[in-house]
Amino acid sequence: MTDPEMEEIYESLATKIDAVGQEKSDIFLAKLALLLSKKFTDLEEVMKCIEEASLDLEN
Amino acid sequence: MRPHGRDELDSLYFDYPRYFAPKLSKEKKEKSIDVVIVGAGPIGLTAALTLERYGISSVVIEAKNTFNDGSRAICIARQSFHIFDTLDVVKQFNAKALGWTKGRSFYRGKQILEFEMPDNENQKYRPMYNLEQQYIEKFLHDEVIKKPKIDMRWQSKLENIEIGNDTATLQITDPHNSYNLKAKWVLAADGANSTIRKLLNLRLNGENFEGRYIIADVKMKHDYPTIRRALFDPDSRRDGTVLIHKQPDDIWRIDYQITEAENTEDAIKEETVRSSIKAVLKDIEFSGDWQLEWWSNYSANTLALDNYRHGSVFFIGDSAHIVPIFGVRGLNNGLADAQNIGWKLAYLLNEKANKNLLESYNSERRGATMDVFANATKSTRFMTPPSYGWLTMRDAALSLALRHKFAGALANPRQMEPYSYAKSSITMPDDENFGSGPKPGTVIENVFFDGKFLSDILDKGFNILWFGEEPKEYDLEKYPNLICFESKSKIGKLYGASQNSSYLIRPDMHIVGRWYKTNLSEVLATFKNLLNGKQL
């Protein structure tokens, strides 16, 4: 994915989170994570992504 | 605003001079002139000096009696230094301004990104410089008063204006009297609250963004290089953004976002500003003494006139367009406006070009503003996310950026490159035989060779780069300055040239067109068409 493509994804996610609303945004993002995971063939890679996404969340 | 007990012009580092209105003879008052420039800010003074360079006289009128204390631009881009270079003032700027190439972004106190702006040995100037606007105006004004062709009139207020297609009558009042000034052309450089715009009933159109900021200058001995710092969600401002810039004279610019919980009225109070700054200084681990110099509030807008020309009046700078601070284009685009209309008007008034050439001013410079608007929406959304969705994505990108480069790219502020006039009617379509080199519409790529820069050998008018044998006869009076190189030279290689390649360059360093294989008469025919304002 190129930088401009990543930017397009970023923008469309922001718009969609606003469209589904703050309350439903968790479930929306969880569904998206499952859909994207299904595109992978390697379980290890998805597990690694899950681990990485959980880092640096502390305030 | 200034701290309690200090006068509006009582600065910690700058002595504001006071200027007076000239005592004008009857003859001088009634004399018709070619160009009157309204506003002696950086844009108006640059326009006057540009015209003077081509032998054109102007009168500059300014309502105030000293340099600006309202607008506070600090970032000067490389191309603006090139403009100052052509006006013979760059030495003063170089001596005082702080050049920089780097920016750092922090998320909750941790550095997540360091970006580097393009710079190399072929560049005469750094990508960006910081300098307080008062100095920018002073250095330009010091040059203006050396020029007999520029008639600088302080404390001279525009009361009314009547305009035709290439005539204007301006009613001016100064402390001595009131008089009518007749001119062919008017350059409205009178800033964001332009009087001319109001007198002509013109409106700026566009968008206002959500984010509100306090913009403050602080004097302190802080040991940190000239690197632009952006603090996202720092301890001092949860959910807010802070920007920090170093300026000369131990002055630091601190811009911080006013959060949702604060109202502007409270945020702008001196005590609130002081405690907010104190918290920011704790974030950057500065514990020494500091003094508050000045502050103001600000919110991001993208506003512009629908047309930068109105009969004999051309709008240049903030009178024509208001842009958000994040792209550092307010001052820089204004300077480019002044240079653009400056050379075009001069060519017309010197009877070297036809009026059609002026048509390109609006399309080129308004195009540059629209380009800023397109990027401004993106950078403003990142700096001050307008909704939950944008905030969530912004924080996700910032959090990922701690370990992932791709996410850092999303946080990269779009630093300015000069706008390309590729679509302008006076820019040629590209010659697709070129495999490399700068394209038509863009600013030339500077090159360092034989101990000098390409920009140093350009004439103030048009220039032709010719990659081939020097012609035996060439009329320098009539035609552009001709600079010959071998196609195998360093410049030839960087410009993708073959034998008999050529580039035609405008007075503002933008490329009109390029030919991979040509003869000089073809290049000269294009030059003539351009001055006649013909579509190229």
Residue B177 lies in a domain: yes
pLDDT at B171: 97
Residue B424 lies in a domain: no
B174, B191: one domain:
yes
Domain boundary among B318, B340, B371: B371
Q: Is B403 within 8 Å of A3 when comparing Cβ atoms?
A: no
pLDDT at B209: 77
Place B498 in a pLDDT band, splitting at 50, 70 and 90.
very high
Residue B417 lies in a domain: no
pLDDT at B135 over 60: yes
pLDDT at B495 over 90: yes
Place B21 in a pLDDT band, splitting at 50, 70 and 90.
very high
B40-84 confidence digits (pLDDT tens): 999 999 999 999 999 999 999 999 999 987 778 999 999 999 999
Residue B332 lies in a domain: yes
Q: What is the mean pLDDT of residues B130-137?
A: 97
B41, B170: one domain:
yes
CA nearest to B331, candidates B134, B49, B100, B118:
B134
Residue of B nearest to A59 (CA): B108
B461, B494: one domain:
yes
Structure tokens at B296: 């103001």
Residue of B nearest to A22 (CA): B388
For the CA atoms of chain A, what is the radius of gyration?
13
B53, B177: one domain:
yes
- Supply the range of the domain harboring residue B218: 208-298
Shortest alpha-carbon distance between residue A7 and chain B (Å): 7
Strands laid side by side in the B102-107 sheet = B110-116, B102-107, B228-232, B241-247, B251-258, B205-220, B290-304, B321-322
Interface contacts (A, B; CB < 8 Å):
48
pLDDT at B372: 86
Q: Is the pTM of this model over 0.90?
A: yes
B158-216 confidence digits (pLDDT tens): 999 999 888 999 999 999 999 999 999 999 999 999 999 999 999 999 988 778 899 99
Query: Closest to B389 (Cβ–Cβ): which among A15, A55, A57?
Result: A15
Q: Is B388 within 8 Å of A22 when comparing Cβ atoms?
A: yes
B351, B249: one domain:
no
Identity of the amino acid at B521: S
B223, B286: one domain:
yes
Q: Is B406 within 8 Å of A6 when comparing Cβ atoms?
A: yes
- Contact (CB, 8 A) for B519 and B495: no
Mean pLDDT of chain B: 93
Percentage of chain B exceeding pLDDT 90: 80
pLDDT at B388 over 90: yes
Place B415 in a pLDDT band, splitting at 50, 70 and 90.
low
Phi and psi at residue B491, in whole multiples of 5°? -65, -45
Q: What is the mean pLDDT of residues B6-23?
A: 94
Phi and psi at residue A27, in whole multiples of 5°? -70, -35
Measure the CA–CA gap between B334 and B365, rounded to whole angstroms.
9
Does residue B377 belong to the interface with chain A, where contact is any CB pair within 8 Å?
A: no
Domain boundary among B315, B344, B371: B371
Which of the pair, B147 or B473, is modelled with greater confidence? B147
B424-476 confidence digits (pLDDT tens): 999 999 999 999 999 999 999 999 999 999 999 999 999 999 999 998 888 88
pLDDT at B392 over 70: yes
Residue B390 lies in a domain: no
Residue B401 lies in a domain: no
pLDDT at B33 over 60: yes
Measure the CA–CA gap between B192 and B306, rounded to whole angstroms.
15
Q: Is A13 within 8 Å of B393 when comparing Cβ atoms?
A: yes
pLDDT at B238: 87
- Contact (CB, 8 A) for B520 and B471: yes
B524, B493: one domain:
yes
B269, B253: one domain:
yes
pLDDT at B114: 87
B199, B215: one domain:
no
- Which of B107, B108, B380, B388 is most worth mutating to test chain A (most A CB atoms within 10 A of its CB)? B388
Q: What is the mean pLDDT of residues A22-40?
A: 96
- Which of B380, B393, B403 is most worth mutating to test chain A (most A CB atoms within 10 A of its CB)? B393
pLDDT at B479: 93
Number of domains making up chain B: 3
B212, B186: one domain:
no
Q: Is A3 within 8 Å of B406 when comparing Cβ atoms?
A: yes
B213-227 confidence digits (pLDDT tens): 999 999 999 999 999
Domain boundary among B317, B338, B371: B371
Residues B208, B210, B216, B221, CA torsion sign:
negative
pLDDT at B307 over 80: yes
Query: Closest to B108 (Cβ–Cβ): which among A17, A53, A59?
Result: A59
pLDDT at B456: 97
B214, B349: one domain:
no
Q: Is A56 within 8 Å of B389 when comparing Cβ atoms?
A: no
Percentage of chain B exceeding pLDDT 70: 99
Q: Which stretches does DSSP call E strand in B353-500?
A: 448-449, 452-453, 463-467, 481-485
CATH number at residue B519: 3.40.30.120
CATH number at residue B329: 3.50.50.60
B357, B503: one domain:
no
